[in-house]
Amino acid sequence: MSAAEATLDEIIVIALAEAFRGDGEILCNPIGTVPMCAGRLARSTFEPDMVYTDGIAALSAETLPVGVPGAEAIPETYMPYRSLFDVVWSGRRHVVMGASQMDMYGNQNFAAIGDDYSKPKAQLLGMRGAPGNLINNKTSYWIPNHSARVFVPKVDVVSGPGYDRMRELGPVASRFHNIVRVVTKLAALDFETDDNRMRLRSVHPGVTVDEVVENTGFELVIPDDVPESRLPTDEELAVLRNEIDPNDARKAEFR
Contact 219, 189 (CB under 8 A): no
3-state secondary structure of 86: helix
pLDDT digits (tens, 9 = 90+) for 102-126: 999 999 999 899 988 888 899 888 8
Looking at residue 48, which CATH number applies to its domain? 3.40.1080.10
The answer on pLDDT for 17 being more than 80 is yes
| CA neighbor of 112 nearest in space, from 127, 99, 123 | 123
User: What was the pLDDT predicted at 235?
Assistant: 96
pLDDT digits (tens, 9 = 90+) for 122-172: 988 888 888 888 988 999 999 999 999 999 999 999 999 999 999 999 999
Q: Out of 36-50, 85-99, 129-143, give the one with best mean pLDDT.
A: 36-50
Tally the domains of the chain.
1
Tell me the residue range of the domain where 55 lies: 3-254
Q: What span, in angstroms and rounded, lies between the C-alpha atoms of 171 and 184? A: 30
pLDDT digits (tens, 9 = 90+) for 57-71: 888 888 889 988 778
Task: Classify residue 218 as exposed, middle or buried by CB count within 10 Å of its CB (0-12, 13-18, 19+).
Answer: middle
Average pLDDT of the chain? 93
